[in-house]
Chains A and B, each alone.
Chain A
Amino acid sequence: MRCVERFSAVLAAFALAVAAQAADLRGTGDLGVVVERAAGRLQIVDTTARKALSRVDGLGDLSHASVVFSRDARYAFVFGRDGGLTKVDILEARIVRRVIQAGNSIGGAVSQDGRVVAAQNYAPGGIKLFDADTLELLADIPATSGADGKPSKVVGLADAPGRRFVASLFDAGEIWVIDARNPRAPAVERHRNVGRQPYDGLVTPDGRWYLAGLFGEDGLALLDLWHTERGVRRVLPDYGRGEEPLPVYKMPHLRGWAIAGGYAWLPAIGRHEVLVVDTRDWREVARVPVAGQPVFVIARPDARQVWVNFAFPDSARVQVIDAETRSVAATLSPGRAILHMEFTPRGEEVWLSARDDDRVVVIDTATLATVASLPVAGPSGIFFTSRAARIGF
């Protein structure tokens, strides 16, 4: 009896210790980061509690900052305009490592196996590969091209199956497929003359297709990543600025392109339209008139709705397209200067940055009611850790 009592006491103490430790442990699946771009700071947010958990300072110039996540969804890799690449521990809310790797950077990607971080740079134009653990430089691939060897700005970098990266060269009009199986000696496959001024690109969610938008001419460059030997072909000849180009006040982003349910929903360039394209044959099937020049066109994860935000001067509005009727179902005014939208992992809510209101607004995607509002200084990009498991994010 006494022995049993003693045992119970030990067990109880043990249970208490475990409970105390468990309170400190948590997963990252419902976490994310919001960029406070002017402050050079990240807020770490919890999408279940709908609140900010902590702040991380000292990230440099975060204008146009983008974020990708480590394979374990614990670390955020932040690419800043000043060429800074910063690895942030989301759980401990601290900078683990930071390197200034270029003069001017625009974004990056994490390899399929999670071991390599690639940065795409404007100046000096090129791609650099880093060890995801240590941020040690593994390879430097200058984006030089042509007889004069002039470096090009690199845009539209994305990860692809086969431990590859794909990127576009804005000035040179090329698409590069980089085999990073041996990241210290990457192999580059160049596709030349893909079109003038590719300005962004994406890999489809299934990892098969790379699409680059062209600013300098109409059409899209399409590469089949199952058969890169077949080369880049041009699709959607009517997609682009057209014969009477309209001024574009903000470059549309392709990374957010909605490819869902067999259709691609694309922001028109300059025009107030979203194009609907059948991804089986890459033909346009519809155009949806919208309230301004679209910047991000993003499908809810179940593809039932497509959300659109707009360039200056229409950036105070957001529209929701019904994917079934292919028409605008709702026009919202959630705040001033809506720069970005991010769905919770399964899409019951969407988080919007309202830069000029210094707020992030959380909207229920079924009722379209605002369910929370968080103070954030000049928010731009919002990135949730569910991106860690997605191809092309």
Chain B
Amino acid sequence: MSRPGIPPVIIAAAAIAFASQAAMAGEPNATRQRELSRLLVHECGACHGMQLRGGLGPALTPGALKDKPSESLVATILSGRAGTAMPPWQRFLSEDDAQWLAAKLVEGGVDAVR
């Protein structure tokens, strides 16, 4: 999870700082939403397809996600899925970020962030 060369203490401190910031933040602001939309299309899209219809990773369309509880989507985004290629994104995303992304996916995927 940590990058080589960065002491775990610093990672932990950063994580705490990030987490406390996230706890106060609520819904991501407009700038952050644009960043997250870009991340969804390009970085998530690298494996799930830019239209999120699937690739090496599964489809993330509203239809494909309809039976998945929101908490499990958020957990997958933040912590990844062991045994698969899905990495944890908590180094880059707060809980609010992940909740916003999960909501957008269920709402309409890439169409919801355009």
Contacts and interface: CB of A to CB of B under 8 A. Distances in A.
Nearest to B5: A272
A157 to B, nearest CB: 14
B50 A81 contact: yes
Interface residues of B, number: 23
6 contacts: A37-B50, A63-B51, A215-B85, A246-B1, A250-B43, A272-B3
B98 to A, nearest CB: 15
Pick from A153, A247, A249, A271 the residue with the most CB of B within 10 Å: A247
A313 B50 contact: no
Contacts of A288: none
A312 B54 contact: no
A199 interface: yes
Contacts of B65: none
B42 A248 contact: no
B4 A122 contact: no
Interface in A101-128: 104, 106, 122-123
A153 B85 CA distance: 14
Contact of A64 (B1, B41, B49, B88): B49
Q: Give chain B's interface secondary structure class.
A: loop
Interface in A1-46: 37-38
A257 interface: no
Given A81-B51, A122-B54, A63 B85 contact: no
Contacts of A322: none
A104 B53 contact: yes
Q: How many A residues are at the interface, by size bracket?
A: 20 to 34
A104 B54 contact: yes
Given A37-B50, A199-B85, A250-B47, 9 more contacts: A63-B45, A81-B51, A104-B49, A215-B85, A247-B87, A248-B87, A250-B43, A251-B46, A356-B38
A106 B55 contact: yes
Q: Give chain A's interface secondary structure class.
A: loop
A337 B92 contact: no
Contacts of B43: 249-250, 312
B87 A249 contact: yes
B55 A104 contact: yes
Contacts of A356: 38
Contact of A247 (B1, B41, B46, B55): B1
B57 to A, nearest CB: 10
B9 interface: no
A294 to B, nearest CB: 13
Interface string A163-197: 00000001000000000000000000000000001
A63 B50 contact: yes
Contacts of A249: 43, 87
A80 to B, nearest CB: 10
